[in-house]
Amino acid sequence: MLAQPRPTDSLNGLLGFPVTPFGEDGELDLPRFRRHLTEMLEVQPTAVFVACGTGEFASLTLAEHREVVGAAVSHVAGQVRVFAGIGGGTRVAVEFARSAESAGADGALVLPPYLQVGPPAGLVAHYRQIAAATELPLVPYQRSTAIFTPEAVAELAELEQIVAFKDGHGDIELLQRIQTATGGDLPLLNGMPTAETFARAYAAVGARAYSSATLAFAPRIARAFFDAVESGDDDTQRTLLREFYVPLTRLRNTTDGYAVSLVKAGLDLQGRSAGSVRPPLADVTPEHRAELGRVLDRGYAALDESSPAQP
């Protein structure tokens, strides 16, 4: 059980994950980044998570990361909370956490350590050292090289700075055991790729909030789906899953890295380019770009059909 109650403003709702725009020279495009944030804020996400997976954290230098976080904090200006992605080995993660804190971030999403896989005790030590180095609220992210035991999460949940637990692993039984081990007091976030396809399953174990990459390139669709989940509108959920989300996941699964590349391609298709992805990611092929355009058209058509007629 948790020693302290969670903050009353714990994370909930629809969470936005913006891309990091790059110019033709491959450098940061902060003016475009600010416009991108404005587009996302129009559909009122609960928080924005910058320089995370969708924001290509792994390809950013520390200086670039600080610029992106600072630009988000100043542009958002308190409308929503800004969480920054941090990650890597413990000392690298500490360095990024301190930098994000100095740039004004409201919290940090701790991405899994790259390549290294440690036992639960090692993961707990990793997060304890990060928490000791910063006052930022922290959200551990379970996926890839960071898979937790329920006991490890319960131990971390005793730290006041651990404000939520994000899952991108997809093991619902494990997530239920984590929810039980923490007494249901630690907010759980659905962090699966194309999280909307898992929304109902995750809601069943108390993880109603989720990260939406779709919100970064098709915010109207993302908001409509989340509202349908919240209101219990099964017809709209089924329609958008059939016409948009399931075809999108099929396309995403064709190529490694498309969870990010498709988002930037979707923006470009709609005249809101955020530039190319950085290696080792690769831009979407022409054939897949055309298919994505068809998926977007079907999504918007389904959205318009499901919207109530205006008087």
pLDDT (tens digit, 9 = 90+) per residue, 247-276?
A: 999 999 999 999 999 999 999 999 999 999
- Residue 307 in 3-state DSSP? coil
Taking 50 as the threshold, does the pLDDT of residue 84 lie above it?
yes
Convert the pLDDT of each residue in 199-241 to its tens digit.
Answer: 999 999 999 999 999 999 999 999 999 999 999 999 999 999 9
Kindly give the pairing relationship between strand 81-86 and strand 107-110: parallel
Taking 90 as the threshold, does the pLDDT of residue 309 lie above it?
no
Taking 80 as the threshold, does the pLDDT of residue 141 lie above it?
yes
- Of residues 141, 202, 210, 245, which has the active-site annotation? 141
Confidence of residue 11 (pLDDT cuts 50, 70, 90): confident
- Of residues 166, 202, 245, 258, which has the active-site annotation? 166
Confidence of residue 9 (pLDDT cuts 50, 70, 90): low
Give the separation between CA 266 and CA 178, rounded to whole angstroms: 35
Convert the pLDDT of each residue in 176-186 to its tens digit.
Answer: 999 999 999 99
Q: At what angle do helices 30-41 and 62-76 cross, to 10 degrees?
A: 40
Tokens of 109: 């999403």
Give the separation between CA 288 and CA 186, rounded to whole angstroms: 39
Q: For this structure, is 210 an active site residue?
A: no
Give the separation between CA 229 and CA 104, rounded to whole angstroms: 32
Which pTM does this prediction carry? 0.93
Q: Residue 218 is which amino acid?
A: A
Given this model, what pLDDT does residue 61 score? 98
Given this model, what pLDDT does residue 2 score? 38
Report whether 143 contacts 110 (CB < 8 A): no
**Spatial CA neighbour of 206 closest among 178, 247, 241:** 178
| Domains present along the chain, CATH in parentheses | 14-232 (3.20.20.70)
Convert the pLDDT of each residue in 275-293 to its tens digit.
Answer: 999 999 999 999 999 999 9
Q: Which of 61-65, 143-147, 237-241, 279-283 has the lowest mean pLDDT?
A: 143-147
Q: For this structure, is 114 an active site residue?
A: no
Confidence of residue 115 (pLDDT cuts 50, 70, 90): confident
Tokens of 309: 């007629």
Taking 90 as the threshold, does the pLDDT of residue 311 lie above it?
no
Given this model, what pLDDT does residue 308 score? 58
Convert the pLDDT of each residue in 151-170 to its tens digit.
Answer: 999 999 999 999 999 999 99
Residue 125: other Cβ atoms inside 10 A = 13
Taking 60 as the threshold, does the pLDDT of residue 6 lie above it?
no
Average pLDDT over residues 120-128: 94
Region of 101 (left: φ > 0; alpha: ψ -120 to 50; beta: rest) is: alpha
For the chain, percent of residues with pLDDT exceeding 90: 91
